[in-house]
Amino acid sequence: MNQFNNNMTEQSNSDLDDIIKALAHPIRREILGWLKIPQKSFPDQEHSFELGVCAGKIHEKANLSQSTISAHLATLQQAGLVTTRKVGQWIFYSRNEALIARFLENIKNDL
C-alpha cells in the first residue's frame, strides 16, 4: 500500500483506503458513472459541461434528499475522486480522471 500512497500523494491527499471506502457505496459509484459522460446523463443542464455538473442536477437525478447527496458528494471529494468548481451560487462536480486512472492502474498492478 505504501507504493500506491507514494504515487497518489503527488496530486492528491487521498489514500487507497479513502478511495475504496468512497467506492463502497452504490450511489457514489453511480454518481461517478453519471459524471463519466455528463452530456448523456444530464442532457438538460443549461451550463457548459466544461464547468462540470451542477450539484442540483445530481440531486434531481438521484432522487434522494439534498443532504444525502451532499454527503455522498463530500465523500467523493474528500477521497479525491471528484473536483469542484464554484460559479456564483452553484457548485459543479467533475470526475478527477487523473486520480481515477492512477487508482485503477495501481489496483491492476497490485492485485
Q: Over its length of 111 residues, how does the chain's per-residue pLDDT go in tens digits?
A: 444 444 444 433 348 889 999 999 999 999 999 999 999 999 999 999 999 999 999 999 999 999 999 999 999 999 999 999 999 999 999 999 999 999 999 889 887
CATH 2.40.390.10, applies to 2-110: no
CB crowding 88-99: b at 16 or more within 10 Å, else e: eeebbbbbbeeb
pTM of the model: 0.84
pLDDT of residue 61: 96
Q: Taking CA 23 as the corner, what is the angle to CA 7 and CA 5, rounded to the nearest 5 degrees?
A: 15
pLDDT of residue 48: 92
Q: Side chain identity at 94, as an amino acid letter? A: S
pLDDT of residue 15: 80
